[in-house]
Structure 1
Amino acid sequence: MAGLVHIDLFSSLDGVAQSPGSRAEDPDGDFAYGGWQAPVDDSAVGQRVMAGIRRMDALLLGRRTYDIFAAYWPQYEGPAAEIAERFTAIPKYVASRGTPSLPWANSHRLGADLAAEIAALRERHREVHVVGSIEFARGLVQAGLFDVLNLWVYPFVLGPGKRLFPPDGPAFGLTLLEPPIAGPAGALLLRYGPGPAVTTADMG
């Protein structure tokens, strides 16, 4: 049975997914709200995120997110040590147009044929997770090269910032995989898979 590709993203209510965990994570465009998700302690988020980390057997990352993770997790010592150990132990696949140095243990660069690479990862792994990596995740979603979109939506409106679904499209459908899960701090988990094309009709 082929494995599944999960995309894990934190988003504001108006769709901004930029720099949720740290002020310095992604300041592109003079983004003013870096670290917007970090102060929110939501037990439902923590439990579901940790469950996903324990199940995953590979990471699939964009180059920028890889560089951020590689500079942080291998040296990490603290209450999230289980995450650091898991991320370091499992294979990490990096999408990059260049030929970057990949110093983190078990890191591999993807080839140019993304669809073929994703198919090979599904054969090789049980559960591959894309974490962050907004631009890369956007391309996967638009091409239907994913199985599960785990979208945590927070009750904030942030205005300008990078989005998984940009205002200029394209249009496509998604399929809800399970009822939404609400956390006590107001975060909402929406789990989607690829869906049918968007169609239109008149009400009545």
Structure 2
Amino acid sequence: MSTIVVQAFITLDGVVQSGGGPEEDREGGFEHGGWTSEYDEHDVAGEMTEIIRSWESATEALLLGRKTYEIWASSWGVWDENDAGLKGELNRRYNRVPKYVASRTLSELGWQNSHLLGADVPAAVRALREEPGGEIRVWGSTRLIHTLAEHDLIDEYRLAVYPMVLGTGKRLFPEGFPRVSLSRVDTRALASGVQVTTYRRSTPA
């Protein structure tokens, strides 16, 4: 059986939109893109780099919503696999693992090893989850995460919480998010001020 793992960079007020760069996702007029950078600059020991390396070494597949897929396909899907360090490592892995995409509008996917989930996303994800394998990774994709939570299909959340409040933007757990009980299984405070915590479902599906 595989495991559905949601990973996110998140602010204290729950915002997950466009943490990586100013133009990553400006939907809704969001003007705070790249908000992780001021803390990542203080990560002189490379703690977050090593955490991401550890997380992604277990990624056997990506599960993405349409918008996140398009952002990733236009970045990871075209960047040079020979880049040094973590960027090259992730690029090689992301290109090789299967990508499963939830979309009502896309009919073709250009990034190698990408597959549309079809009309019944919960059923398709449930089938993927029941197959032998490792971790199926979800990044971004807030609408997809809501759908997965509604059908009790998320096994674990790994959250890097940045000590800042933006007051606007897409939230991981918006009003109306399904109720869920989780157990904290690991937490680590980084020198940059970021706190990384893993939560796992309290009861098996």
TM-score under structure 1 normalisation? 0.88
1:1-204 equivalences in 2 (<5 Å): 2-41=1-40, 42=43, 43-77=46-80, 78-79=83-84, 80-122=87-129, 123-166=131-174, 168-170=175-177, 172-195=179-202
Pair 17,39 (structure 1): closer, same or farther in 2 beyond 3 Å: same
Q: CA deviation at 1:55?
A: 1.0
Percent identical residues: 39
Work out the CA distance in 1 between the residues paired with 2:25 and 2:4: 24
Tell me the secondary structure at the aligned position of residue 50 of structure 1.
helix
Q: CA deviation at 1:35?
A: 0.7
Work out the CA distance in 1 between the residues paired with 2:186 and 2:132: 30
Tell me the secondary structure at the aligned position of residue 77 of structure 2.
helix
Tell me the C-alpha RMSD between the 2 structures.
Answer: 1.7
Deviations 1:125-156 (A, max 9, x none): 32100111122122223432111111111011
Unaligned runs of 5+ in 2: none
Q: CA deviation at 1:124?
A: 4.7
Deviations 1:66-113 (A, max 9, x none): 111111113213331111111001100000012332001000000222
Pair 158,191 (structure 1): closer, same or farther in 2 beyond 3 Å: same
Task: Could you list the structure 1 runs, at least 4 aligned residues long, displaced by more than 6 angstroms after superposition.
Answer: none
Work out the CA distance in 2 between the residues paired with 1:94 and 1:125: 18
Work out the CA distance in 1 between the residues paired with 2:77 and 2:182: 36
Judge conservation of contact 2:146–2:178 (CA < 8 Å) in 1: no
Work out the CA distance in 1 between the residues paired with 2:181 and 2:52: 21
TM-score under structure 2 normalisation? 0.87
Work out the CA distance in 2 between the residues paired with 1:139 and 1:195: 19
Unaligned runs of 5+ in 1: 197-204
Tell me the secondary structure at the aligned position of residue 178 of structure 1.
strand
Work out the CA distance in 2 between the residues paired with 1:138 and 1:19: 18
What residue identity is the alignment partner of 1:59?
A: L
Judge conservation of contact 1:174–1:192 (CA < 8 Å) in 2: no
Work out the CA distance in 1 between the residues paired with 2:37 and 2:148: 26
Judge conservation of contact 2:8–2:158 (CA < 8 Å) in 1: yes
Judge conservation of contact 2:64–2:100 (CA < 8 Å) in 1: yes
Tell me the secondary structure at the aligned position of residue 9 of structure 1.
strand
Judge conservation of contact 2:186–2:199 (CA < 8 Å) in 1: no
Work out the CA distance in 2 between the residues paired with 1:106 and 1:25: 23
